[in-house]
Structure 1
């Protein structure tokens, strides 16, 4: 179901505040991981905030933000049993969060459009994947199955 632009314009400022809060929380977890390497609670917290951010962005049809969050989530989640978030991996993850923060600022507040070249997202995700010990990063393999169903889908 397409999003009503008037409804979107009313919901976007609230989303933006929540997204910035979720990103800040993820960065706090990242800072914690720099002090206490591979702390499972900090990683779980980061996974939860990324998934929540992806769901909120998806609800407003902000696909670039939603998919970027899901890609980061999947890379963290794939290696959760044998996590090695060393300094270079944490730096690559911080770069992803920095780009996401920039992208949130660049979303047009009236139209919801985000004009971007996906190559920067892809390059950062590839760098993070390499630091996480993944040989390749294939963005097309990620699906929205990680997101909980939307209220409309649950009612169907």
Structure 2
């Protein structure tokens, strides 16, 4: 169902505040991981914030933000049992979060458009995947069903 522009314009400022809060929480998780490498609670926190951000972005049809968040989530979640978040992996993850924060600032508040070349997202995701021990990164389309079921499960 398409989003009503008037409704979107009213909901967007609230989304921005929540997105900034979620990114700040992700940064806290990242800082914790720099102190205590591979801490399961910090990783779970990061996964939860990424998934929540993706869900909120998806609800406003901000696909670039939602997909980017889900790709980062997927890389962390695939490796959760065998995580090796060494310094270079954490730096690559920080670069992804920094780009996402920057992209949020570039969303047109009137139209919701985010004009960007996805190559920077792809480059950062490939760098993060390589640091996570993945031989290649292939952006998978994470289904909306997966997003909603994972989001619901994490909220419980």
TM-score by length of 2: 0.93
- Counterparts of 1:1-16 in structure 2, within 5 Å, are 1-16=1-16
In structure 2, relative to structure 1, the CA distance for the partners of 1:140 and 1:134 (3 Å cut) is same
Question: How many pairs are equivalent?
Answer: 149
- Counterparts of 1:1-156 in structure 2, within 5 Å, are 1-148=1-148
Runs of 4+ in 1 over 3 A off after TM superposition: 140-145
The CA deviation string for residues 68-102 of structure 1, in whole angstroms up to 9 with x for no partner, is 00000000000000100000000000000000000
- Deviation, 1:141, is 4.5
CA-based RMSD of the aligned residues comes to 1.0
The separation in 2 between residues aligned to 1:13 and 1:141, in whole angstroms, is: 27
TM-score by length of 1: 0.93
What stretches of structure 2 of length at least 5 have no aligned partner? 150-156
Check the 8 A contact 2:50/2:73 in 1, yes or no. Answer: yes
- Deviation, 1:58, is 0.1
- Deviation, 1:143, is 3.3
The separation in 2 between residues aligned to 1:109 and 1:141, in whole angstroms, is: 26
The separation in 2 between residues aligned to 1:13 and 1:77, in whole angstroms, is: 29
Query: In the alignment, which residue of structure 1 is the partner of 2:153?
Result: none
